[in-house]
A and B are shown apart, each in its own frame.
Chain A
Amino acid sequence: MEKRSVDSRVRGVSTGTTILAATFDGGVVIGSDSRASIGGEYVSSKTINKVVQVHDQIFCCMAGSLADAQAVTKAAKFHLSFHSVQMETPPLVIAAASVLQELCYNNKEELQAGFITAGWDRKKGPQVYVVPLGGMLVGQPVTIGGSGSTYIYGYVDAKYKPNMSREECLQFATNALALAMGRDNVSGGVAHLVVITETGVEHVVVPGNKLPKFHNE
């Protein structure tokens, strides 16, 4: 998460973070790193939580400007809470993603925020949606984002398999985050992971020194 310096505008708007989400057999894992930085030089927070709960079984990862992302998720959380009371049923994951999409698309000039939405609903089960900066919406079985994601595309492409078990998927997500945090200087800290299934939600936090180690580390 960076201040909007000239650098980042020129470089493009993927900024200091690693976020991901992946579906497995019966659920979905969503996770992020915990570093907030300024100018790519100073770590302003080592323990920021970028995984936000927008409803009982729907979570979002924030990317881009932290201020913008927090403002958008706050509005989305309210909107979904109201919507679910009106519908007398929990919102669908696609509805949560669509709410974020409307906010990102209609305010695209002012905002610099992208999201990964993941959750479980009774209609379609576990799902992952990505809403990048311009306000597109696309559903995928696995997705990664943030500046750290560039270093793990190969790993994700090679290692992700649909319908993994919960443990396999959790290991996959932890490895992916660890690899990204190991190479991206603006990603780091702890790995925040959330596992969402039909029965509920489980938070897993892996501190920096407990992250999986790879060769020559």
Chain B
Amino acid sequence: CSSLGTYDLSASTFSPDGRVFQVEYAMKAVENSSTAIAIRCKDGVVFGVEKLVLSKLYEQGSNKRIFNIDRHVGMAVAGLLADARSLSEVARDEASSFRSSYGHDIPLKHLSDRVAMYVHAYTLYSAVRPFGCSFILGSYDKDDGPQLYMVDPSGISHGYWGCAIGKAKQAAKTEIEKLQMKEMTCRELVKEVAKIIYIVHDEVKDKAFELELSWVGEVTNGRHQLIPEEVRQEAEKYAKDSLEEEDDSDEDNM
């Protein structure tokens, strides 16, 4: 996919073959970022992010890539982190305004549509550049169940049972497709999410990484939270053990 002449300089220009190159370039920015995945199961949604550590002076737990939107929504991001942070504020404002107007939690599909519309607006004009990030939104409600939506720089939003964004998204998707997530609970799924991040992490190209894990579901009473310490340790141990064996581990109950 090569850019032709001057068709790639602004988002307000189509190329002769009907592409908006600025949006495609924005998606490239996401592909250069480390991987983030989220999977929806029977009773919730689990998020996992491979956070690359670039400095020996890095403080553990900083530069978070998973955000809280209201109490019941989690947002995992990939791409330009500054753009993602700005969009998390947009999402928070939408959720807050909805709650103020209608007195209840914003339904996830509506939040996803609203933020996607905002992202899309930035693909229409030459005066601004598109957002260089994709993000995954997840929530759990006892009546509507778990929900998962992904928004990309073009401003498109789709619902998923599992999705991955970032550099290893293809490998991650392959692993996700092996899971029977509709029959799993959050507790079972946390271990699988950790394992997938460990699998897709490239030891050669990227050295150290920190695994960021969060969930929202029946287990948290509908609140989006970072995974508690004992659960995270169990999950990381499972992930590391699985990697040590050449084959997939069958002994852990699934």
Give residues in A with beta carbon < 8 Å to B: 83, 86-87, 89, 91-92, 94-95, 97-99, 101-102, 122-123, 137
Contact = CB atoms under 8 A, between A and B. Distances in A.
A83 B110 CA distance: 11
A87 B143 CA distance: 15
Given A87-B107, A87-B110, A122 B143 contact: yes
Contact of B103 (A86, A87, A137): A137
A97 to B, nearest CB: 7
Contacts of B143: 122-123
B115 to A, nearest CB: 14
B6 interface: no
B116 to A, nearest CB: 14
Which label, helix, strand, loop or mixed, suits the secondary structure of the A interface?
Answer: helix
Nearest to B141: A123
A149 to B, nearest CB: 24
A99 B107 contact: no
Interface size grouping (class) on chain B: under 10
B145 to A, nearest CB: 13
Contacts of B101: 98-99, 102
B159 to A, nearest CB: 13
B58 interface: no
Interface in B64-112: 100-104, 107, 110
Contacts of B103: 92, 94-95, 97-98, 101, 137
Contacts of B104: 92, 94-95, 98
A94 B101 CA distance: 10
Contacts of B110: 86-87
B165 to A, nearest CB: 26
Nearest to B113: A86
A123 B141 CA distance: 10
Contacts of A95: 102-104
16 contacts: A86-B110, A87-B110, A89-B107, A91-B102, A92-B102, A94-B102, A94-B103, A95-B102, A97-B103, A98-B101, A98-B103, A98-B104, A99-B101, A99-B102, A101-B103, A102-B101
B158 to A, nearest CB: 16
A90 to B, nearest CB: 13
A101 B176 CA distance: 46
A215 B146 CA distance: 58
A123 B143 CA distance: 7
B204 to A, nearest CB: 47
A122 B104 CA distance: 14
A95 B104 CA distance: 7
A70 B185 CA distance: 50
A98 B100 CA distance: 8
A61 B110 CA distance: 30
Nearest to A123: B143
Nearest to A95: B102
Contacts of A83: 102
A149 B100 CA distance: 30
A175 B102 CA distance: 34
